[in-house]
Structure 1
Amino acid sequence: MIQRIDSHQHFWRPARGDYQWLRADEPAVAPLLRDFMPEDMAPLLSAHGVSQTVLVQAAESKAETEFMLDLASAHGFIGGVVGWVELSRPGAGAVLERMAGHPKFKGVRPMLQDQPDDAWIACRPRPDAIRTLQRLGLRFDALVKPRHLPPLLRFLRHWPELPVVIDHAAKPPVGANDGEAFAQWRADIAAVAAMPQVCCKFSGLWGEAPAAMHGDVEAALRAVRPVWEHLLDVFGPSRLMWGSDWPVLTLAGDYAGWIAISEACIGGLAQSEQDDVWAGTARRFYGLASE
């Protein structure tokens, strides 16, 4: 069986109180308003040969990062944690120093897609905080939508030595590959990919497809394949990493379905290239322990 690393998944316990986006009165996310914990995911990982995961923040709070680090200490399959630090505030560097004391703390993710200013990333993070990220060998997950790619590119050009990964391929308009918006995404993600410090996650794309494709593996594959082909062209397999975005994935399909869609795309590569996308890129980027 192919060895896999899931480079993007979440756990949460809504009763903790800091998941502001998880609301019962929002039909699109209401099914997610329950506990999703390691015991829920472990059978999926075992069934599909996933040896490690990267646990990614879902709340803008230090408390949630500490919650995730506690889970990582208790569960060996969690290979790394991407947490949250307010990079625009004084003292961010000191917070990063404390969190980096945990061996599984691998980086940070500002929730850029939720910032009121689309250009936040280009102007608000404190330079001393970014320098601390670099000094500590930490990584930066960019949770962006297509409109954020131009300001992100300005940030990348200013900090060319900071390792950055684009979450969910910047959430392109999956299934609309003949449209103007898709063409613009293609151009902007290619410009970002030209920066050698940037990787990209092949994740979260089923959820970006039209609702009519949710639950339909074949339809989702037809919609996702043009995205995959462009990502492969501009990043190459050594800078692409597979992830599930579980449990957000469950809004569109299931773990087995996303594995099937991904296998149909990744399986066309040479074996060494498949190994990169399924595991090698994530292991190198996040500095995960070898199995």
Structure 2
Amino acid sequence: MIIDTHLHLIYRDRLGYSWLKDVPALDVDFTWETYAREARRLGISSVLHMEVDVAPEDIAAETAMVQQLSRRPDSLLRGVIASCRPEEQGFAAYLETQLTTPFVKGFRRVLHVVPDDVSEGALFRENVKRLSGTGLTFDLCMLPHQIDKAKALVDLAPDVTFILDHCGVPDIKGNGYDAWKSGITDIARRDNVRVKISGIPAYGDLENWTLEDLKPYFQHTIASFGFDRAIWGSDWPVCTLGGGLSTWVATTQALLHGCTKEEKDKLFSGNAKRIWGLS
């Protein structure tokens, strides 16, 4: 069993994605049907949709669209990690609304696309603390140089589970191991942080990355967090930039060579089940 905790769907006729113009390879529709066909062949049995940084006015519509797709017969969709704007006054009311929707499992605000000081604002931090006691998670999508800001958020809300996306977004192509390594070691000391093994082929040489390029990043991430605090995600369709869904599943299996069945089960499904109550 594989639970994919990081799927993006792109429907340009329904939602606004201003950032797509800067990534031509992704500026096309990536639909549920396309993903599901390949996912079923790979043994993916449950899926969480990850927000795609849609236009602010489309945030609620994105969640509603994915929930509608989840109602199709034999759908694999089990919930969403919804977009949010903790830096805005309306977050408290937005949170109250989402708490009435069990389909919403957590939130994400991508922080490497906004000024560094956004996450340092008093309102942002106050609103992140509002997640305490809700059972909702908060994904951290940040660059290695922002790791101190991530640690500050994590320390403010010790009973909130934070998910560090994409192994902390290392610069694999630029040989950024040393700049990334110590930050991973440090943030992993926080018991309320989990790490997502996802997306890393997109940070290597897209045409020429190899298993050996990824190994040091995978190995240090697991050494720091352990298999009890690691979850798996595809980052589809971003993973298509570095080979695609089937390539990433096969690569993960290769990275896990020599690991026990118990360790593999924790990464691929067990930890996600526990964090979000998935089946």
Question: What's 1:45 paired with?
Answer: 39
Name stretches of at least 5 consecutive residues in structure 2 with no aligned partner. Answer: none
Conserved? CA contact 2:7–2:50, under 8 Å? yes
Out of 222, 244, 253, which is 1:254 matched to?
A: 244
Question: What one-letter code is carried by the residue in structure 1 that aligns with 2:26?
Answer: L
Counterpart in the other structure of 2:130: 132
| 1:124–1:242 CA distance, 2 compared to 1 (3 A) | same
Total equivalences in the alignment: 274
- The one of 283, 288, 291 aligned to 2:273: 283
Q: 1: CA distance between counterparts of 2:152 and 2:126?
A: 18
What is the CA-CA distance between 1:128 and the residue it aligns to? 4.7
1:98 alignment counterpart? 97
Q: Residues of 2 paired with 1:220 and 1:283: CA distance?
A: 31
Which region of structure 1 is more displaced relative to structure 2, 9-18 or 149-158?
A: 9-18
Query: What is the aligned counterpart of 2:3 among 2, 5, 8?
Result: 5
Counterpart mapping for 1:51-62 below 5 A: 51-60=45-54, 61=56, 62=59
Aligned counterparts of 2:68 and 2:109: Cα–Cα separation in 1: 20
Deviates most, 93-102 or 146-155: 93-102
Farther off after superposition, 203-212 or 228-237: 203-212
Conserved in 1, the CA contact under 8 Å of 2:87 and 2:121? no
Distance 1:150 1:272 in 2: 33
CA distance in 1, matches of 2:253, 2:37: 19
Task: Tell which deviates more after alignment, 63-72 or 45-54.
Answer: 63-72
Q: Secondary structure at the match of 2:112?
A: helix
Provide the TM-score with structure 2 as the length reference: 0.92
CA RMSD of aligned residues (A): 1.7
Q: Is 1:270 matched with 2:260?
A: yes
Q: Which moved more, 1:201-210 or 1:264-273?
A: 264-273
Report the alpha carbon displacement of residue 33 of structure 1 after superposing the two structures with TM.
Answer: 1.7
In the aligned structure 2, how far is the partner of 1:59 from the partner of 1:72?
20
Asked whether the 8 Å contact 1:207–1:249 carries over to 2, the reply is: yes
* Equivalent in 211, 218, 228 of residue 238 of structure 1: 228
Residues 193-219 of structure 1 show CA distances to partners (whole Å, capped at 9, x for unaligned) of: 100010111111001001342xxxxx4
Kindly tell me: are residues 145 and 224 of structure 1, through their superposed partners in 2, closer, same or farther at Cα, counting changes over 3 Å?
Answer: same
1:1-291 equivalence runs, <5 A: 3-23=1-21, 26=22, 29-60=23-54, 61=56, 62=59, 63-74=61-72, 76-116=75-115, 118-175=116-173, 177=175, 181-213=176-208, 219-288=209-278, 290=279
Extract unaligned runs of 5+ from structure 1. Answer: 214-218
Which amino acid counterpart does residue 127 of structure 2 have in structure 1?
A
Using the TM superposition, give the Cα deviation of residue 120 of structure 1 relative to its aligned residue in structure 2, in angstroms.
2.4
